Structure 1
Amino acid sequence: MALLVLMAFWCVAGPSGLLAWGENQRVLEQRQHSLVALKAERERLKNRVALLDPRKMDPDLAGELVRSNLNVARSDEMVMQLR
């Protein structure tokens, strides 16, 4: 009988038991949210890398990078594209 009680307790409070199920769901939701944010950041970086391709570099981005790397850009400047 004690063995059955111990097994029942293990099924409820064990590392993969019913009590751990809610915690696992919460962790899964947090990681899914962070995955969405990471995918958005990856797409943003992928777009920026595509703009830096030497064969077809975006002149506005090139100018922005040159000015910021040479420390001639001010912190209150905004880059505006005229087309």
Structure 2
Amino acid sequence: FLTYFGFHAYHGEFGIYSKYRLQAQAAELQAQLDAVKARRVDFERRVQLLHEGTLEKDMLDEQARKALNLSQPEEITIMLPASTK
């Protein structure tokens, strides 16, 4: 009888072993949450730069050129290998 309760106190759904598994899972999820929060802060900073009044025209021009792969006819384009970026 005592063995039954002892076994389930350690291996059961709410036992000691489950506590360690839940703590490890909580630490993993906290690390994921921290990474997502850091990405959100970065995105919010980038969006803030695009708001009216704080719009940096150089940044907007650079991002548009990079995204659309465009340049002015009088500009010289120098292609660099991808490994040097």
Same fold by TM-score greater than 0.5: yes
Q: Percent identity?
A: 27
Extract unaligned runs of 5+ from structure 1: 77-83
Q: Which residue number in structure 2 is paired with residue 57 of structure 1?
A: 55
Aligned-pair CA distance for 1:69: 2.8
Higher relative contact order (CA 8 A, sep 6+): 1
* TM-score of the aligned structures, taking structure 1 as reference length: 0.71
RMSD: 2.2
Q: Which residue number in structure 1 is paired with residue 41 of structure 2?
A: 43
- For 1:56, the aligned partner's letter is T
Aligned residues: 74
Q: Which residue number in structure 2 is paired with residue 14 of structure 1?
A: 12
* TM-score of the aligned structures, taking structure 2 as reference length: 0.70
- For 2:7, the aligned partner's letter is F
Q: Which residue number in structure 1 is paired with residue 32 of structure 2?
A: 34
| CA displacement, residues 9-43 of structure 1 (integer Å, 9 cap, x when unaligned) | 22210122101111111111111111111111110
Extract unaligned runs of 5+ from structure 2: 72-76, 81-85
Q: Which runs of 4+ in 1 moved over 6 A?
A: none
